[in-house]
Amino acid sequence: MMDWTDRHCRYLHRLISVKTRLYTEMVSTGALLHGDVGRHLALNEEEHPVALQLGGSEPAELAHCARLGRQWGYDEINLNCGCPSERVQRGAFGACLMAEPALVADCVKAMVDAVDIPVTVKHRIGIDRVHSYDFVRDFVGQVSQAGCGVFIVHARNAWLQGISPKENRTLPPLHHGFVHQLKADFPHLTIVANGGITNASEMQQQLDAVDGVMIGRAAYGNPWLLADWDQRFYGLPASDRSRDDVETRMVDYMQQEIRRSPIGWSTIARHMLGLRNGMAGARHWRQVWSNHRFKALDPREVMALAHQTAPAQRESMAA
């Protein structure tokens, strides 16, 4: 979710669900050691509970970055052992770390010793074309001994050669049975299912076998997917917040951010373009909010334009 789940995206998601745990985009240790720490780690108080996902393979560097995450207020540190991109592979972290469970265990141990918040791992069920439950079982077993109690398992192998990161999210076959078996073999661990889960019904099916579910791109593309999760999965009263309410709150947030930093509202608005998916007028609404010609306008003016009846609709109504 690099370049996707930044703090503005997470603010939007928190407006829709107050309980769902949010995760940052993956932040490399190099970015924190040599870059602008504030740009990468700034968060809104409203985001909690929120986890910082780190990418790296040097225990000392990860420990340092975990401490930074704790200092900036994150509730969890998550180590990414699942990203298959070539850029990540060149840095010798991400999915290729699954071939080195002893190193992952050392990384986890260093972070566990450095912070007093949970250290978790996100990973695949294997690498390349070899499908072996024993491989992922042994990986989880070894890493858990270093102090990791939560494993977020993308139920696909990571094919490290020959396909793109996008294809790696669809071409390797899903094996959710491996994830379920992990829970059976490690009942004391928290096992979270990830991959190919797109709606609340599928989430519930997974929750019958494991402890949690992570949804990434499906929730980004359709943020309103989160709207009933607090009631359905956390037992809270049904929310009366509407899409209009969320949009209005996001416009308030845009104005607040514009006042305190040089960013434009479009940097924030891009995250809510899927908010009205499936609704009448959604296409016109999305086109207005993504129209760069309106960048100089106040976001409240843009919202008013977005809610004007689209030209095609006006013609139909006139006819």
- Give pLDDT tens digits for 118-147: 999 999 999 988 889 999 999 999 999 999
Percent pLDDT > 90 in the chain is: 82
What integer is the mean pLDDT of 175-204? 96
Q: What is the pTM of this model?
A: 0.91
Residue 160 confidence (pLDDT) above 90: no
Residue 60 confidence (pLDDT) above 90: yes
Please tell me the total number of residues recorded for the chain in this structure: 319
Residues 6+ apart with CB under 8 A from 83: 2, 26, 55, 93, 94, 95, 158, 165
Pairwise pLDDT comparison (170 vs 121), residue with the higher score = 121
What integer is the mean pLDDT of 193-209? 95
pLDDT of residue 309: 67
**Degrees to nearest 5, angle at CA 187 with 183 and 192:** 40
Q: What is the mean pLDDT of the chain?
A: 91
C-beta atoms surrounding 301 within 10 Å: 12
Q: Which tens digits make up the pLDDT trace of 252-272?
A: 999 999 998 888 999 999 999
**In terms of DSSP H, where are the helices of the chain?**
7-16, 29-34, 37-41, 59-71, 86-90, 101-114, 133-144, 176-185, 200-207, 217-221, 229-234, 243-260, 265-269, 282-289, 299-306, 311-318
Q: Which tens digits make up the pLDDT trace of 69-103?
A: 999 999 999 999 987 665 555 556 677 899 999 99
pLDDT of residue 319: 34
Catalytic residue among 9, 81, 83, 107: 83
From the candidate CATH numbers 3.30.70.1450, 3.40.50.720, 3.40.50.80, 3.20.20.70, the one assigned to the domain spanning 7-234: 3.20.20.70
Lowest-pLDDT range of 83-92, 151-160, 183-192, 273-282: 83-92
Token reading at 293: 């010609």
pLDDT of residue 165: 75
Task: Confirm whether 83 is a catalytic residue.
Answer: yes
The domain limits of the chain are: 7-234, 243-318
